[in-house]
Amino acid sequence: MSQRFITPEKLFAARFSDPGQRPQWDAAVICFRDPKGSRFLVEELGGVPVGRQVFWGIQETPALPRVFEATVAGRRVGIATHCIWGASQASILVEELAAFGVRVVLGFGAAGSFDPSLPQGTQLAACVAPATDGTSQQYGPGPFRPDPALLALAAGAEPVAVATVDAVYRETPDLVARWRALGTQVVNMESAPFYAAAETCGVRALWLGQVSDMLLDTWHDWHFNRDDMTRATCALCRKVLEGVTDFR
């Protein structure tokens, strides 16, 4: 690998004046969801606030904790919440988690479906993600995939091919047609860079989520009660974490 100007370790030197402040996690979950989805995940895993800045751009306050730590099946699990800004944020967080020594990372999110056989509420596991965004292409040509052993633990979730979009306000029927031509069925803002950074950094990764909206002839939006489907995905995250036997 050629020399990089900025690395996580260079920034950690300033962020963690005491090396003992650095997280010591066996696994982590990146929550690519809004405050309610983040809260449901923290409740499901029993997370408690870390209380200090851990990641680039995620500022902690007593009134709005953003990073949590939980114990699941005797393992320490970090939880980064409110991570809604897509590709760049996904890759930054995976790279920093890898630098902490974390080797198992789950992504928890939602996706828009353009496949009529995948209606709203369908539980998903991203099984392949072409490099349709700018960030993932900086890691390689793709397509990018999850860790097979983690994917095998996600029983009950529909394995899907996921497109990644950078500009949500530029989704058009023509763009959806191009995604379909690649064999993808749903779209979100993070799956490809999440997997691309994980592959590059030697991290075992799996993205889990549900269909939140539909991109068919018209847009069927996400403004309905999604609590049950969100809690189902949270429970699936716990199930996968409990099923992992190798955190190396």
CA pair distance 66, 25, nearest whole angstrom? 16
For tokens 């930054």, the residue is 92
pLDDT, average across residues 124-140: 98
What CATH number is given to the structural domain containing 219? 3.40.50.1580
> Residue 201 has which token pair?
């950094």
pLDDT number for residue 1: 58
% of the chain surpassing 70 pLDDT: 100
64 bridge partner residues: none
The count of domains in the chain is 1
Residue 185 domain-assigned (yes or no): yes
Residue 9 domain-assigned (yes or no): no
CA pair distance 168, 240, nearest whole angstrom? 30
pLDDT, one tens digit per residue, over 75-102 is 999 999 999 999 999 999 999 999 999 9
Mean pLDDT of the chain: 95
pLDDT number for residue 222: 81
Residue 17 domain-assigned (yes or no): no
pLDDT, one tens digit per residue, over 43-77 is 999 999 999 999 999 988 889 999 999 999 999 99
Residue 10 domain-assigned (yes or no): no
pLDDT number for residue 248: 79
Residue 212 domain-assigned (yes or no): yes
Q: Evaluate if residue 246 carries a pLDDT over 90.
A: no
pLDDT number for residue 226: 86
CA pair distance 233, 211, nearest whole angstrom? 11
pLDDT number for residue 223: 81
Residue 238 domain-assigned (yes or no): yes
Which tops the pLDDT comparison, 17 or 121?
121
Residue 19 domain-assigned (yes or no): no
pLDDT number for residue 217: 87
CA pair distance 136, 148, nearest whole angstrom? 20
Residue 109: which domain range?
Answer: 26-243
Residue 67 domain-assigned (yes or no): yes
- For residue 141, CA distances in Å to 63, 65, 131, 144 come to 42, 36, 6, 9
CA pair distance 19, 41, nearest whole angstrom? 28
